[in-house]
Chains A and B, each alone.
Chain A
C-alpha cells in the first residue's frame, strides 16, 4: 500500500503542445489549395483534401485554421450527426467537419468548390418536396 501511495506522489508534468513554429506542413497544404483553386477556376473541377489522411499535428491544424480564417458563410447540417461547414477567408475554400451522433469527428475535409455538396439540396429530395407540397395543397382544397 505504501508503494501505491508513493506512485501518487510522483509529479506529472504535462508536455506543452508542439509550438506553432513546428507547424511545418500547413504551408504545403496552402500550396496544394492554390493549385486546386486554379483547377476550379479554369476547368470547373472541384476537389478536396482529407485532413485525416495527413500526419498533421495539433499545431499544423491550428495554424491552418488561422491562416485560412473564416469567411461569410457558416452552418450546420444535421443528418447522421452534425456536420459543421464554413467558408474560409478564401472564397471557394470550405472547411467541412463531419461528426457522428456522439459528436466525435468522423471526417474532416477542406473542399475547394463553389458550394459543398452536403449543402446543396439533393435533386430527388426536391422532386419529393414538390410532390409533398402538391399533396398538401390538394388536401387543403378538400378541407376548405
Chain B
C-alpha cells in the first residue's frame, strides 16, 4: 500500500494512536467541523475509509496575507499536521520552500498529476482594470491564472472576504476594478469562507470537511458553509441577554461598557453578520472582538467596508423586552429581520453618497 492510499486511521495507528485515540480524534474533529456530537461516528466511518491526500493549490491575488497569517494559527488540527498528514499543499507562495520558476513548475506538475481532482484555495480579489495589470504573478495576470487553475479543480474555496466578495480592494471607488472569485469562476462549485481574516479553525475546518466527506459542506445563499455561518454573531453572543433586556453601553468607557452590556448602540454589526466568532473565538479560543469590548465590524459580510460607519448603530434598538424567554426570542428574531432590512437601505444610502470617513464621523457616533 503506497503512502497516499492509506486512510487517516491507518496513518494514526502507524504512529501508535490507539482505537480510543481515534475515537477521541473523531469526536474532536466533528466538533471542529461544526457538526453535532452525534455525527462523530459518521466522521469515524469516513476517516476509516478515506484514502486520499488530495493536492491543494493555494493562489494569492490582491490580498494582504492576513488570511495565510490566520491559517497558520490553526491549532486543531495544526496547519503542520494538516499539511503533512492530510493534504499535499503543492503551491502556496508564502508557505512553499520553492521560489521562482521552481514554484511555478510545482504548480504545473500538481495540476497535471491531479487534473480534475485538486482543491483550489484562493485568497484575494481579482483586479480586472487596465487588463489585469494591477496584480500579476510570474508574468500572468491574476485573472488568467485563476481561470487556468480553476479549470482543473474539483472545487474552489474562496478564503477571506476579498476572494469571497471583493472585500477591501473592491470598496468604493474600487480603483483596480476588483471582483470576487465567484464573479469569474461560474462552472465549478465555489465555497465562500469570508472574514477579514476568516477564523483559522474555520479555514482548516472546511478543508477537513472536504477531506473527510469528499464534498463541500452545505452552503447558504451566499455560498458560505452553514455549519460556521449559519447564525449571526448577535444570536450567539454572550451579551445577547443584555440586548433582550435593553441594557446598552452608550460609550466605550461608561458603566454599561464596564458591566459588559450590549454594544449595539456603539455600532456593533453582530445582528447582520453571519460568522462563528462568538463560539469558536480567536487565538485558540481566547476571545473575540465583542468579548474584548469592541463591536463587530461585520468583516465577513459583502461590502462591509462601504456599509456606513463602524461606530454607527444599525437602527434604533427595541425597548426592553420583559416576560417569557420565548417572547424575547421571537421579538429578537423580528427585530433582527427589521434590522437586516434597515441595514440594506443604510448600505444603499452609504453607497449612493460615498464620502471619505473622517475622524469626526467616528466621533459623531
Contacts and interface: CB of A to CB of B under 8 A. Distances in A.
Interface size class of B (residues with CB under 8 A): 20 to 34
Given A55-B237, A98-B24, A50 B258 contact: no
B23 interface: yes
A52 to B, nearest CB: 6
A105 B238 CA distance: 21
Interface stretch (B26-34, B62-70, B130-138, B165-173): B26-34
B348 interface: no
A65 B89 CA distance: 42
Contacts of B278: 55
Interface residues of A, number: 34
Contact of A118 (B12, B20, B76): B20
A55 B76 contact: no
Q: Main SS of chain A's interface residues? A: mixed
B96 interface: no
Interface string B43-84: 000000000000000000000000000000001100000000
B25 interface: yes
B279 A117 contact: no
A98 B23 CA distance: 11
A80 B11 CA distance: 13
A125 B18 CA distance: 9
Nearest to A108: B31
A69 interface: no
A109 B27 contact: yes
Contacts of B285: 52, 105
B27 A77 contact: no
Given A49-B37, A80-B17, A80-B18, 6 more contacts: A18-B260, A25-B238, A55-B237, A77-B24, A104-B76, A111-B37
